[in-house]
Chains A and B, each alone.
Chain A
Amino acid sequence: MRTYLITVILTGYAQLYKTDTLFISFYSDAPLEKISAESRKGSYSVIHFGPDTVYVRVPIRSFEFPNKLMQEHFNEDYLESDRYPYAYFRGKLIAPIPLNEPGEYAVSAEGDLIIHGKARHRLLSGVFQVLPDKRLILRGKFLVRPADHDIKIPKMLWQKIAEEVEVRFFGQYRPENAN
């Protein structure tokens, strides 16, 4: 895969940034139960500055729940990770980031959020921190409605699973070809 990336033809100021760390967590706050889970490995993201495209891929099975029974239900009954092993975001930054000026920048990307095989057009926001050594730190949060992605929650369990789940992300990007 790495060799593929290097063969991408870069023109002008185009620059490819890739994650070496990407944490995703979510939190569901329902009347009867609070559920949290975290993915700390296996996620992958690239940002192609220039065309300003963003690509994120998160393996559903990488989400770890302290309650393993919930983790099994999450994979088997809700996200159906054997059919839909990944969640994706493919989009475009809506404003350019000054990569050469260290600082913090609010950032938004517009595109398809694909969870459970079902795409939704979304505008997601976060904060980019450009570090002097060219690293980028991205963090932010957004809400996902399970119903928007055809994730059915039995009526009996509505008090245990929130209608809106808060997803947080934290990633560190590095330039892929530092020439």
Chain B
Amino acid sequence: MGLLCGPLFWAQNGSLVEAPEKVPVTATFKGTRLLNYHTIQTLPKNHWEFRVAHRFGDVGSGIKRLWGIDDGARVRLSLDYAPWNFLTLGMERSGEGPLYNVYLKARLLTQTTPGGIPVSVGYYGAVFYADVPAETWEHRLQYLHQLLVARKFSRRFSAQVGLAYLHQNYALVPTAPNDYFLLPLLLRFKTLKRLTIGAEAALPLWENKLDNDAPSSYLPGYAPAIGLVIEIETGGHVFQLGVSRVSGIAEPYTLLNRGQSWRFGFNISRIFSPKDPSLQ
């Protein structure tokens, strides 16, 4: 470092050569979600986030249906708030049913660099209520728990692996179980300062018996969900444009994809900060 060739004094006080102190990593992922799944990111204290998400129809429909865009969109609206840095609370409404949910996401451990804690760890839990005909209201409930483990490997590359447990009070089909374990994977490549490419997948930790023996199948039509996303940051907003193989917009449909349709989709996120008291 050129700074070291100053006068003797600078070298003697040692401060230029000492290792930088361990600091918590920031911006492991750009947003609180990638395309379909939650990232390890929580909101900063007293900040609000409002999100609008759309998932269109089957891209396989081609120009005739404008790759699914003519088929209308599932819409999801989310409003999140962080009472503390380590905890984010949110409520959401999705177009399937409609489906309402509340969630909480807690940051349990934050990676530090250089050295120190190697990964960030978080927990995400949600309760879903589908506003659909059902024998009892309990049948409309679904629960999701996720353990999130993420690491920012370099300024350009972050990865996250999760363990998701989804419980549906009322099984989708008679052959389907009520409980599912999945492994959501999220990758982020920061290509330019304000542009990110992301990839995600939800891999099943259960065997779908459908392929061999249809009558005893777990979940007809099941195929692992996969998604690709581009994130563009413009100061206060983050735009996420992507294509993913999912059957809906909320986690019960994005983790448990039942179909081969790839869909265009986008998320727009706006974060609101408390006013700067020094500028009033």
Residues of A with Cβ closer than 8 Å to B? 1, 4-5, 7-8, 34-36, 38, 44, 46, 48, 51, 53, 55, 57, 59, 61, 65-70, 72-73, 75-77, 82-83, 85-86, 88, 90, 114, 154, 156-157, 160
Contact B44 A8 (CB under 8 A): no
The one of A53, A83, A114 that contacts B7, using a Cβ cutoff of 8 Å: A53
- Contacts A61-B23, A77-B194, A157-B235 known; A46 to B277 CB distance under 8 Å? no
A48 to B12, CA, bound (A): 12
B64 proximity list for chain A (CB < 8 A): none
A162 to B261, CA, bound (A): 48
B278 proximity list for chain A (CB < 8 A): 36, 38, 66
Tell me the interface secondary structure of chain B in the complex: loop
A161 to B222, CA, bound (A): 50
Please list 29 pairs of residues, one from A and one from B, whose beta carbons are closer than 8 Å in the complex, sorted by A's number: A5-B13, A35-B276, A36-B278, A36-B279, A38-B278, A48-B9, A51-B7, A53-B7, A55-B10, A55-B13, A55-B15, A57-B16, A65-B276, A66-B276, A66-B277, A67-B273, A67-B276, A68-B44, A68-B45, A69-B44, A72-B27, A76-B26, A76-B193, A77-B193, A77-B194, A90-B3, A90-B10, A156-B234, A157-B235
Contact with A along B1-41 (1 / 0, CB 8 A): 00100110110111110101101001100000000000000
- Contacts A1-B15, A76-B26 known; A69 to B9 CB distance under 8 Å? no
Contact B235 A68 (CB under 8 A): no
Contact B194 A69 (CB under 8 A): no
Residues of B with Cβ closer than 8 Å to A? 3, 6-7, 9-10, 12-16, 18, 20-21, 23, 26-27, 44-45, 47, 113, 155, 193-194, 234-236, 271, 273-279
B26 proximity list for chain A (CB < 8 A): 72, 75-76
Contact A73 B235 (CB under 8 A): yes
Number of A-B contacts (CB under 8 A): 79
A49 to B229, CA, bound (A): 58
B155 proximity list for chain A (CB < 8 A): 82-83
